[in-house]
């Protein structure tokens, strides 16, 4: 299944890199680094130069923290989306929000994809995607409300629960009028899950890719990586790249990341091992 987002079409064996641009003062991974609008724009310039296919712009921290009103979320994101759209007409702009009011305004400003990480908590988000002809990410949060963390969460089979939830949301998006080739599904590591759940989702990701919906994974510096390796946020790159390689091998299509160049190298290597990409050069043993 091809994936069509904005001006870009991604084929079955294309692996797209989605760069994270958090315009928040309290993100767990880059606290305040891009809160200033000029810094956020410089971050976009940097990741585009590094080869990002998409940028994912967000204005609210995913977890617990200061309450961010709709107006403040828009203050952090609307101008930024408009400026990025003007500077990069062909760049795919994703917006990380669960609010339909925010999604509608950001689509007006030029967004191509709504990254709804809270699994349709606002059911009108999918209607916004249909109205503007943009894409949507269908996620799994274990039934949690936005910005809440799991506590003693239990699944009989976490992979089966994820598959049923995200494919159900994808089917609902089609019924609402979203184009089938603009829909991604995300197992949403850590959201509504403990570390064992996220490890199992990674290990069995092929069961989700077998649904034929394009799969997005957001692995970068996640807590399940930190807990598995016993490492703080700033030391989770190696673990992130290992999980990225496994996910790519299992067929994930889009990779949300803080580290564009490193991720792109991993994806290129996996694609070459899989036979989908020729080596950049192959002179060994031929000279």
Catalytic residues: 222, 256
> Are 199 and 193 contacting, i.e. CB atoms less than 8 angstroms apart?
no
CA neighbor of 15 nearest in space, from 52, 68, 56:
52
> Are 63 and 28 contacting, i.e. CB atoms less than 8 angstroms apart?
yes
> Are 153 and 142 contacting, i.e. CB atoms less than 8 angstroms apart?
yes
CB count in 10 Å sphere of residue 258:
21
> Are 82 and 37 contacting, i.e. CB atoms less than 8 angstroms apart?
no
């919906």: which residue's tokens?
213
CA distances from 61 to 23, 82, 205, 241 (A): 9, 21, 26, 23
Secondary structure tally for the chain: helices H, strands E: 10, 10
CA neighbor of 149 nearest in space, from 195, 112, 105, 92:
195
| Distance in angstroms (rounded) separating the CA atoms of residues 184 and 131 | 17
| Distance in angstroms (rounded) separating the CA atoms of residues 191 and 94 | 19
Cβ-proximal residues to 151 (8 Å cutoff; 6+ apart), any chain: none
> Are 34 and 21 contacting, i.e. CB atoms less than 8 angstroms apart?
yes
CA neighbor of 213 nearest in space, from 267, 253, 255, 172:
253
Contacts 24+ apart (CB under 8 A), 35-38: 35/76, 37/79, 37/80
């Amino acid at each position: 299944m091809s994936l069509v987002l904005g001006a870009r079409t991604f084929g079955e064996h294309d692996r797209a890199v989605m760069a994270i641009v958090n315009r928040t003062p309290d993100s767990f991974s880059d606290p305040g680094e891009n809160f200033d609008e000029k810094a956020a724009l410089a971050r976009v310039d940097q990741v585009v130069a590094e080869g990002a296919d998409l940028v994912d712009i967000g204005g609210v921290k995913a977890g617990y923290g200061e309450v961010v009103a709709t107006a403040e979320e828009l203050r952090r994101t609307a101008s930024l989306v408009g400026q990025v759209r003007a500077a990069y007409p062909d760049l795919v702009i994703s917006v990380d929000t669960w609010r339909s009011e925010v999604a509608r305004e950001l689509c007006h400003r030029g967004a191509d994809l709504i990254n709804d990480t809270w699994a349709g908590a606002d059911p009108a988000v999918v209607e916004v995607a249909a109205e503007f002809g943009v894409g949507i990410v269908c996620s799994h949060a274990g039934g949690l409300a936005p910005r809440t963390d799991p506590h003693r969460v239990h699944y009989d089979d976490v992979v089966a629960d994820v598959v049923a939830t995200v494919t159900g949301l994808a089917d609902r998006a089609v019924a609402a009028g979203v184009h089938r080739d603009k829909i991604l599904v995300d197992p949403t590591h850590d959201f509504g899950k403990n570390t064992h759940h996220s490890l199992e989702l990674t290990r069995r990701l092929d069961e989700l890719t077998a649904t034929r919906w394009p799969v997005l994974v957001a692995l970068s510096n996640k807590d399940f990586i930190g807990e598995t390796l016993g490492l703080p946020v700033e030391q989770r790159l190696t673990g992130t790249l290992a999980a990225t390689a496994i996910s790519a091998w299992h067929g994930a299509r889009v990779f949300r990341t803080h580290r564009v160049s490193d991720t792109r190298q991993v994806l290129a290597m996996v694609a070459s091992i899989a036979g989908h990409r020729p080596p950049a050069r192959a002179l060994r043993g031929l000279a």
